[in-house]
């Protein structure tokens, strides 16, 4: 088990997401550092997959830019190694199970440990399918971050009770990307999770603006933002790190403001 | 061998085989998948459900399909006796209807009002649109843009039946991308929607369910051949994309060791080229589309673009039970190229007066090769999975014939 849970003890955690090698190696390294400098608590790095079935158009397009840059699994590890020279920010990977499976569960988790990557978010690995990766994850102290969604229902108990690191609470049905409306039972969903575990919760999928981040921070222990940042990278390209840092600061202060207001 | 057999049994049951099968799908869909699993296992042996299914198969889909003795082909090839299981004569012109009726009935029992499906060649989409019309359900079909272009006739048929067809423009714009899009749609809206999976792929229980509903093919052919020849076939041949008609053609013979089972994959420009869809021959173990199975992928696990002249076989994976049957050696899988299948398309038209789907012509091409090597007292049952009207324009184009569509 990693120390991810500790991060949520001080304040509401902000967890931004970037796709590795989008648009290139150096920009991704700089983006990770910029996110850390801007106040991110955990940086989620996406390892591109050819068929990202949980992702919307924005992240699909980022994956394509990364492939155009020639991204390999090894490239992603090199990016993290490079970023590690400049930041100690906690990092988790988001990727699809085939990428991990092909690398080898043991070798992949060992690599994560060596790079200081604390956890894995794998959208196509539900609770029932995680048994095969758990021996390797436990061996190297890597948290497998579970997802709980508005449709999880009776599954919430077993998922929450077995969670480590943090719990990724999916804000609404469907795929990643900007949205104006979220599942209206999010508060109840989070409080049900709290009945079963002390592991912190972070809400993601479709959170796009500082205002939305503030709202989500009032519901859960953390907020995950992906497409909004990936959009900045798409727009600013190599100049992205500066804009990414500014955006991170804006989110950070909106979340802190919300937390103070609710105290 | 014993251990492999055991694994295969588990894969057949669709449970965690450790080797093939499983449920690798976003959490958003898991509760729904549990409902489908429960409904399927409750209803499949329920007498009322079976009666309803049987009635539709007989009175709507035109079953049983003929087991036709292909006398001209048999004489021309000069070896084994060739029987064709005529799934092309089903209502909507392919085997796909067998499975769609079954799954749509499940959807009805689950109170669903809307059917969604992926389609490659369009046959599964047409079958789903047809049953949706019959049952008065909404229907939306996801089809790769590449396939909507090469199968325009089927797109129009689906629209005529009241379905909305979404051309999928992500990825390689073929069958796998259509499955991605359909899964995403299902994750967004599952409360009133049933995903009618067309092939023997996807997360458990889909491969088992598709096999169950397609096994009518082999159940019938076994009885029909017994009546005609009073024996089992020596070989059963069927084409394999995801593998639904093949698993249905094999199902009732798997426990008859004397029956050789041969699945014919689309080799495209050749098994050893990059332009192929021969998953079992060229693929490696991976996890995609909800299942652990064999996939054409690179060493990092990125799914490769695949190629075949046939939109229905243009898929980078294969159903988990086929992967298990191949591993165990119970079934054999061979590749047939574009050129060979086009030649078979012309051959069966001229010999037997049957315009068969280009997918099925992959199986026919293999029969042309293997029948002459067998003796005259041996019997091949080859499944003609669909009719070829949809392919006439594109085969003409392939042959350089200019016809006005």
Question: In chain B, what are the domains?
Answer: 28-56+95-210 (3.40.50.1100), 62-94+214-398 (3.40.50.1100)
pLDDT of B153: 87
CB contact under 8 A, A50 and B303: yes
Q: Which two tokens stand for residue B184?
A: 């995403």
pLDDT of A261: 55
CB contact under 8 A, A149 and B176: no
Residue of B nearest to A103 (CA): B300
Q: Check pLDDT > 80 for residue A258.
A: no
Q: What is the pTM of this model?
A: 0.95
Which of B33, B179, B301 to substitute to test the interface with A, most A CBs within 10 Å? B301
Q: Among A99, A127, A159, whose Cβ lies nearest the Cβ of B300?
A: A99
Distance between A42 CA and the closest CA of chain B, angstroms: 23
Q: Given A21, A22, A44, A63, which residue is catalytic?
A: A44
Q: At what angle do helices B96-109 and B123-135 cross, to 10 degrees?
A: 40
Instruction: Tell me the mean pLDDT in the region A225-230.
Output: 96
Q: Among A57, A101, A173, whose Cβ lies nearest the Cβ of B287?
A: A101
Q: Work out whether strand A91-94 and strand A43-46 pair parallel, antiparallel, or are unpaired.
A: parallel
Which of B18, B20, B21, B26 to substitute to test the interface with A, most A CBs within 10 Å? B26
Give the total residue count for chain A.
Answer: 263
CB contact under 8 A, B287 and A97: yes
Chain A CB contacts of B290 under 8 Å are 124
The region, left, alpha or beta by phi > 0 then psi within -120 to 50, assigned to residue B18 is: left
Positions of B marked catalytic = 96, 118, 385
Q: Given A21, A22, A41, A55, which residue is catalytic?
A: A55
pLDDT of B7: 52
CB contact under 8 A, B184 and A173: no
Q: Which residue from A76, A105, A78 is spatially nearest to A93, judged by alpha carbons?
A: A76
ipTM of the complex: 0.95
Q: Write phi, then psi, for A26 (nearest 5 degrees).
A: -65, -40
Which of B17, B20, B28 to substitute to test the interface with A, most A CBs within 10 Å? B28
Q: Check pLDDT > 70 for residue B404.
A: no
pLDDT of B402: 79
Q: Among B176, B290, B300, whose Cβ lies nearest the Cβ of A102?
A: B300
A/B interface, count of CB pairs below 8 Å: 110
Cα–Cα distance between A104 and A89 in angstroms, integer?
Answer: 26
Chain A CB contacts of B288 under 8 Å are 51, 98
Q: At what angle do helices A227-236 and A25-38 cross, to 10 degrees?
A: 130
Cα–Cα distance between B146 and B174 in angstroms, integer?
Answer: 6
Q: Which of B5-19, B51-65, B388-402 comes out lowest in average pLDDT? A: B5-19
Q: How many CB atoms lie within 10 A of CB B359?
A: 33
Cα–Cα distance between B110 and B104 in angstroms, integer?
Answer: 10
Instruction: Tell me the mean pLDDT in the region B4-29.
Output: 68
State pLDDT tens for residues B46-79: 999 999 999 999 999 999 999 999 999 999 999 9
pLDDT of B5: 55
State pLDDT tens for residues A105-128: 999 999 999 999 999 999 999 999
Cα–Cα distance between A163 and B212 in angstroms, integer?
Answer: 36
| Residue B331 and residue B262 in contact, taking contact as beta carbons nearer than 8 Å | yes
Cα–Cα distance between B291 and A232 in angstroms, integer?
Answer: 34
Q: Which residue has the tokens 């900045």?
A: A232
Instruction: Note if A256 is an active site residue.
Output: no
Give the sheet arrangement for strand A43-46, strand by strand.
A143-145, A117-121, A91-94, A43-46, A13-19, A222-225, A201-204, A167-170, A147-148
Q: Check pLDDT > 90 for residue A239.
A: yes
Sign of torsion over alpha carbons B297, B300, B301, B302: negative
At A137, is the secondary structure helix, strand, or coil? helix
Which of A49, A50, A134, A179 to substitute to test the interface with B, most B CBs within 10 Å? A50
Q: Check pLDDT > 60 for residue B396.
A: yes
Instruction: Note if A44 is an active site residue.
Output: yes
pLDDT of A1: 66
| Residue B380 and residue B82 in contact, taking contact as beta carbons nearer than 8 Å | yes
Q: Among B30, B170, B288, whose Cβ lies nearest the Cβ of A60?
A: B170
CA A218 to chain centre: 19
Instruction: Tell me the mean pLDDT in the region B260-280.
Output: 96
CB contact under 8 A, A50 and B287: no
pLDDT of B171: 85
Residue of A nearest to B31 (CA): A152
Give the sheet arrangement for strand B331-337, strand by strand.
B67-69, B81-86, B379-384, B235-240, B260-268, B331-337
Q: Check pLDDT > 50 for residue B15.
A: no
Q: Which of A25-29, A80-84, B15-19, B243-247 comes out lowest in average pLDDT? A: B15-19
Strands (E), B276-396: 284-288, 290-295, 331-337, 379-384
Q: Write phi, then psi, for B327 (nearest 5 degrees).
A: -65, -40
Cα–Cα distance between B98 and A148 in angstroms, integer?
Answer: 36
Task: Please compute, for residue A118, the number of CA atoms within 13 A of its CA located in the half-sphere on the CB side.
Answer: 19
Residue of B nearest to A155 (CA): B31
Cα–Cα distance between B21 and B203 in angstroms, integer?
Answer: 7
State pLDDT tens for residues A36-95: 999 999 999 999 999 999 999 999 999 999 999 999 999 999 999 999 999 999 999 999
CB contact under 8 A, B171 and A51: yes
Distance between A57 CA and the closest CA of chain B, angstroms: 9
The region, left, alpha or beta by phi > 0 then psi within -120 to 50, assigned to residue B14 is: left
Q: Check pLDDT > 50 for residue A263.
A: no
pLDDT of B145: 95
Distance between A96 CA and the closest CA of chain B, angstroms: 9
Give the sheet arrangement for strand B284-288, strand by strand.
B21-24, B290-295, B284-288
Instruction: Tell me the mean pLDDT in the region A190-216.
Output: 96
DSSP, res B275: S
pLDDT of B78: 98
State pLDDT tens for residues B181-213: 999 999 999 999 999 999 999 999 999 999 999
pLDDT of B150: 80
Q: Which two tokens stand for residue A146?
A: 């579970």
Q: Check pLDDT > 90 for residue A2.
A: no
DSSP, res B366: H
State pLDDT tens for residues B211-236: 999 999 999 999 999 999 999 999 99
Planar angle of CA B104, B109, B111, nearest 5 degrees: 95
Evaluate the omega torsion of the peptide bond into residue A55 and state whether it is cis, within 30 degrees of 0: no
Straight-line distance from the first to the last Cα atom of chain A, in angstroms, rounded to the nearest whole number: 31
State pLDDT tens for residues A177-198: 888 888 889 999 999 999 999 9
Q: Check pLDDT > 90 for residue B18.
A: no
Residues 6+ apart with CB under 8 A from A180: none
At A91, is the secondary structure helix, strand, or coil? strand
Cα–Cα distance between B142 and B162 in angstroms, integer?
Answer: 14
User: What's the topology of domain A12-262?
Assistant: TIM Barrel (3.20.20)
Q: Check pLDDT > 90 for residue B99.
A: yes
B287 touches chain A (CB under 8 A): yes
State pLDDT tens for residues A116-159: 999 999 999 999 999 999 999 999 999 999 999 999 999 999 99
Q: Check pLDDT > 50 for residue B1.
A: no
Q: Check pLDDT > 70 for residue B120.
A: yes
Instruction: Tell me the mean pLDDT in the region B73-93.
Output: 98
Question: How far is CA A162 from each of CA A169, A232, A240, B168, rounded to the nearest angstrom?
Answer: 15, 35, 38, 38
CB contact under 8 A, B287 and A124: yes
Distance between A109 CA and the closest CA of chain B, angstroms: 15
B290 touches chain A (CB under 8 A): yes
Q: Check pLDDT > 60 for residue B2.
A: no
B192 touches chain A (CB under 8 A): no
Q: Among B22, B31, B302, whose Cβ lies nearest the Cβ of A49?
A: B302
Sign of torsion over alpha carbons A23, A24, A28, A30: negative
pLDDT of B16: 45
State pLDDT tens for residues A23-41: 999 999 999 999 999 999 9
pLDDT of B311: 87
Instruction: Tell me the mean pLDDT in the region A167-183.
Output: 88
User: pLDDT averaged over chain B?
Assistant: 94
B199 touches chain A (CB under 8 A): no
């Amino acid at each position: 088990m990693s120390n991810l849970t500790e991060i949520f003890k001080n304040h509401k955690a902000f967890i931004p997401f970037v796709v590795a090698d989008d648009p290139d190696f150096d920009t991704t390294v700089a983006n990770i550092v910029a996110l850390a400098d801007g106040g991110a608590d955990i940086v989620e790095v996406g390892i591109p997959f050819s068929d990202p079935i949980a992702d919307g158009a924005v992240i699909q397009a980022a994956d394509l830019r990364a492939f155009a840059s020639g991204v390999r699994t090894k490239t992603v590890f090199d990016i993290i190694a490079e970023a590690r020279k400049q930041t100690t920010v906690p990092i988790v990977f988001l990727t699809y199970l085939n990428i991990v499976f092909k690398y080898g569960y043991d070798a992949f988790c060992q690599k994560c440990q060596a790079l200081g990557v604390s956890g894995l978010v794998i959208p196509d690995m539900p609770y029932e399918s995680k048994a095969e990766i758990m021996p390797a994850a436990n061996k190297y102290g890597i948290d497998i971050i579970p997802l709980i969604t508005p449709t999880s229902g009776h599954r919430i108990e077993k998922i929450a009770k077995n969670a480590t690191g943090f719990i990724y609470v999916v804000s609404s049905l469907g795929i990643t990307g900007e949205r104006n409306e979220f599942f209206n039972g999010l508060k109840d969903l989070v409080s049900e999770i709290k009945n079963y575990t002390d592991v912190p919760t972070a809400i993601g999928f479709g959170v796009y603006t500082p205002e939305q981040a503030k709202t989500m921070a009032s519901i859960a222990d953390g907020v995950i933002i992906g497409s909004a940042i990936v959009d900045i990278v798409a727009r600013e390209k190599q100049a992205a790190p500066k804009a990414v840092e500014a955006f991170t600061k804006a989110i950070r202060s909106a979340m802190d403001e919300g937390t103070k207001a609710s105290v | 061998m014993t251990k492999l057999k055991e694994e295969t049994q588990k894969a057949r049951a669709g449970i965690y085989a450790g080797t093939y099968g499983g449920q690798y799908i976003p959490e958003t869909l898991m509760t729904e998948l549990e409902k489908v699993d429960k409904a399927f296992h409750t209803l499949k042996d329920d007498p009322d459900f079976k009666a309803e299914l049987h009635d539709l198969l007989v009175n709507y889909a035109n079953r049983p399909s003929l087991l036709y003795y292909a006398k001209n082909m048999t004489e021309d090839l000069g070896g084994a006796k060739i029987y064709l299981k005529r799934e092309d004569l089903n209502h909507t012109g392919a085997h796909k209807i067998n499975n769609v009726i079954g799954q749509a009935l499940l959807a009805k029992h689950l109170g669903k009002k809307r059917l969604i499906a992926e389609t490659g060649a369009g046959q599964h989409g047409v079958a789903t649109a047809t049953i949706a019309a019959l049952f008065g359900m909404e229907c939306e079909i996801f089809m790769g843009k590449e396939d909507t272009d090469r199968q325009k006739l089927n797109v129009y048929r689906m629209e005529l039946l009241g379905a909305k067809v979404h051309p999928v423009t992500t990825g390689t714009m073929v069958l796998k991308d259509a499955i991605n899009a359909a899964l995403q749609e299902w994750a967004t809206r599952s409360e009133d929607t049933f995903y009618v999976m067309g092939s023997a792929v996807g997360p458990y229980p889909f491969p088992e369910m598709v096999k169950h509903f397609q096994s009518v093919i082999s159940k019938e052919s076994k009885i029909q051949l017994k009546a005609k020849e009073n024996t089992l076939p020596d070989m059963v041949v069927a084409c394999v994309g995801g593998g639904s008609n093949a698993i249905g053609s094999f199902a009732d013979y798997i426990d008859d060791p004397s029956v050789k089972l041969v699945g014919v994959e689309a080799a495209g420009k050749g098994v050893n080229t990059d332009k192929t869809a021969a998953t079992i021959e060229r693929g490696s173990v991976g996890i995609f589309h909800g299942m652990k199975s064999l996939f054409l992928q690179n060493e990092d696990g990125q799914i490769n673009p695949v190629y075949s002249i046939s939109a229905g076989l243009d898929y980078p994976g294969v159903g988990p039970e086929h992967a298990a049957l191949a591993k165990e050696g119970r079934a054999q899988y061979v590749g047939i190229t574009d050129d060979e299948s086009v030649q078979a398309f012309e051959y069966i038209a001229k010999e037997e007066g049957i315009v068969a789907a280009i997918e099925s012509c992959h199986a026919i091409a293999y029969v042309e090769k293997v029948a002459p090597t067998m003796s005259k007292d041996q019997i091949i049952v080859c499944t003609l999975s669909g009719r070829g009207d949809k392919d006439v324009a594109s085969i003409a184009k392939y042959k350089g014939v200019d016809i006005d569509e």
